[in-house]
Structure 1
Amino acid sequence: MTSTPDYTTLNSPSFQTAESPLRQSQRGRLPNGVYVPMIAFFDVNGGIDIASTQRHTARLLDADVAGLVVHGSNGEAVHMSRDERRTVIKAVADAVRHASDSHAPVPIIAGCGAQSMWETVELCREAQSAGATHALILPPGYYSGILSKDAIVSFFHQVASQSPLPVLIYNFPAAANGVDLDSDTLLRIAAHPNIVGVKLTCGNTGKLARVVAGVSKVRGGRKDFFVGGGSADFILQGLVVGAHGTISGFANLAPRACVRIGHLFEEGRLAEAMELQHQVAEADWLAIRYGFVGVKAAMSMFHGEQEKPCTHPRLPFTSHTEDSTAAREIWEGMSGVLAIENDLVAATKQ
């Protein structure tokens, strides 16, 4: 088996060759909390809706989320051109800068996954130039049948050594042709100092616990690696075993409820955290079942009819009609959390 390079100090020659002032300033661990993989907003002509994108950015910042993710699985990046990807990142970055007077700076994590190391690095560079602070990268899965674990580890290390952005691993087998990185492989990848976190959408909380327990060892004792679940239905379970937060698509709809679970846990109010987690998990099951199309259908239910024109998915997907089975199930399954979210919004205005 190919050995993993020794990246246990920042003086590693393998890393020095790709050092940059930008990365020096961003190497600290991502702050704990809820990160939102934003949905994509399109106007009536199918183009990027900058105004709606920025309105949603401001809404999420007001909910006290820890950071934003663009071009995640909820963000339809695979339906966009490279220019459109840059436009979305820039729109979000501009909105974050505009809100900087009333909010602390927040990370902007851009999905930059591609099948080759070369294109992945190009996407990282383009994301950085548009205003992203971090890159989220899937393992390449197109040729998964002949791709070894050693090759995947090397892929991430090569990308991390050349990316101008700190890198997060995105473990989502459904989006990577079934590639599911085990905890041993994740820890090998995490040895690189420019790899600063992982999103575990696989839902394996045992794997999450093993990564939390092992990551400081492979990073020379440093505690600068963010471990987060990738779904709102196990926020609390992750926190109990040491996760630092979550990157959850359902937070597009109910960000305050997701944030509240973490606050209750930190305050030691476990029974209340469990009850809220139960309700969020029930609602999130609809978002999981219907994917980003379901999340988009729920936007007008949660945030008003004005969201409906800008939340249509791009072909080959179409919106759920109001009288469809999906729309009825989404409303019935999410209405409880909708009420909680509205109460939390009202509480901030008192």
Structure 2
Amino acid sequence: MPAFDIKSITGVLPAMVTPFDENEKLDEQRLRAVVNFLIERQVEGLYITGSTGESFLMSPEERKRVVEVTMEENRGRVPVIAHIGAISTFHSIDLAQHAERAGVDAISSVPPIYWGFSADQIHGYYADITRSTKLPMIAYNVPMAALGFDMIKRLSSIDGVAGVKYTATTHHDIIRIKEEIGQDFIVYSGADEMAMSGLSFGADGIIGSFYNSMPEIWIALRDAVAAGNLAEAKRLQEIGNAVIFFSLSRGGIPSIKRAMAWMGCDAGYARKPLGGFIDQAADDKLKAEFRGLRDERKLSGVAFLDAL
């Protein structure tokens, strides 16, 4: 039985990184540190083994171990949504059932990718997974395999599909989802650079990559939107976006992990081809570049930049 009801899982949820060591092996000690680091910074949940978590660069056994370690270290402090998506329905069901046994509160999945699957095949994929567990499912609308409004509406009729992680820029559809599917259908805005827009358009929460490295910005942004202070929310979004776009040109996930390390949480390294080991010289160069961004843009309030 999940510890948290899906309707209570709102707010700021990092799409948690997965630490790998210098040899690209899963690093369980660093993983435990990441879980505690994020919870201590008052995030309101964790979205694990997703794209930011490099799930598609891991074996099923590694993905299961990340779920197990996360749940052991979390100890029921915050809700956990586990991404269990794979191309194969068979493997996704196996991951979903394991996640249920491990005690997660909900599961999530991208639609099956690689082949051009039909609408009926995608519908069948989600229906088969939700039948296999009692956990609520959060469908994942992602650019590489976009679902679109009509498919989201169709999936919402499946018993167990409780909402959608909406990682797209068409935020007018968030309003439409709430109006046509229903207010109880959960929407998580998944585009970090449009968090303000997603929340303003009615998203129940935000899930994103850069909530690992600067959760304080997104928590403050969420609070500003809730208070109707859109000028402050815009200011915070601009700060977040400056860091996001600067980081992406230097490798998004590797930059996030180094930023966390500069705050005392060594999140390890990214697996190739996303990244790999960063030696001291490369780390010093990256630090210097971020200092330059901070000083040029006069950015303040970002903990990892303040720490440089």
Normalising by structure 2, report the TM-score: 0.87
Q: Could you tell me which residue of structure 1 aligns to residue 148 of structure 2?
A: 182
The answer for the alignment partner of 2:197 in structure 1 is 237
- Corresponding residue for residue 302 of structure 2: 341
Query: 260, 276, 279: which one pairs with 1:318?
Result: 276
Q: CA deviation at 1:327?
A: 6.3
Structure 2: which 5+ runs fail to align? none
> What does 1:73-84 align with in structure 2 at a 5 Å threshold?
73-84=51-62
Contact (CA 8 Å) 1:74, 1:291: kept in 2 or not? no
The Cα shift of 1:272 comes to: 1.1
Q: 1:59 deviation in Å?
A: 1.7
Does structure 1 conserve the Cα–Cα contact (< 8 Å) formed by 2:141 and 2:148?
A: no
Contact 1:235–1:245 (CA under 8 A) maintained in structure 2 = no
What secondary structure does 2:120 align onto? helix
**After the TM superposition, which residues 117-128 of structure 1 pair with which residues of structure 2 at under 5 Å, given as runs?**
117-128=89-100
Q: 1:230 to 1:83 in 2, by over 3 A?
A: same
**CA–CA separation in structure 1 for the residues paired with 2:6 and 2:47:** 18
2:6–2:105 Cα contact (<8 Å) kept: no
Q: Quote the residue 2:19 is aligned against.
A: 41
Q: Is the Cα contact below 8 Å between 2:100 and 2:133 reproduced in 1?
A: no
Letter in 1 for 2:81: I
Measured after TM superposition, the shift of residue 330 of structure 1 is: 4.9
Q: 1:46 & 1:329 partners in 2: Cα distance? A: 25
Q: Distance in 1 between matches of 2:173 and 2:290?
A: 30
C-alpha separation in 1, matches of 2:193 and 2:97 = 33
Give the greater-gyration-radius structure (CA). 1
**CA distance in structure 2 between the partners assigned to 1:337 and 1:31 by the alignment:** 34
Verify: 1:196 aligned to 2:149, yes or no: no
Mapped partners of 2:169, 2:268: distance in 1: 27
Q: Which runs of 5+ in 1 are unaligned?
A: 1-21, 217-222
- Count of residues in correspondence between the two structures: 300
1:256 is matched with: 216
The aligned counterpart of 2:107 is 135
Over aligned residue pairs, what C-alpha RMSD do you find?
2.7
Task: Say if 2:5 and 2:105, in contact at 8 Å, map to a contact too.
Answer: no
Deviations 1:106-157 (A, max 9, x none): 221111111122221111011222332211101112211xx22232122212
Q: Counterparts in 2 of 1:183-332, with a 5 A limit?
A: 183-216=149-182, 223-289=183-249, 290-301=251-262, 303-304=263-264, 307=266, 310-316=267-273, 317-319=275-277, 321-322=282-283, 329-330=289-290, 332=292
Q: Match of 2:78, SS?
A: coil
CA contact (8 A) 2:81 2:108 kept: yes
1: CA distance between counterparts of 2:6 and 2:48? 21
- Kept in 1, the 8 Å contact 2:4–2:79? The answer is no
Provide TM-score, normalisation by structure 1. 0.77
CA distance in 2, matches of 1:131, 1:27: 13
- Once residues 149 and 337 of structure 1 are traced to their aligned partners in structure 2, the CA distance between those partners, rounded to angstroms, is 48
Cα distance change of structure 1 residues 277 and 315 upon mapping to structure 2, 3 Å threshold: closer
- Is the Cα–Cα contact under 8 Å of residues 203 and 230 in structure 1 kept in the other structure? no
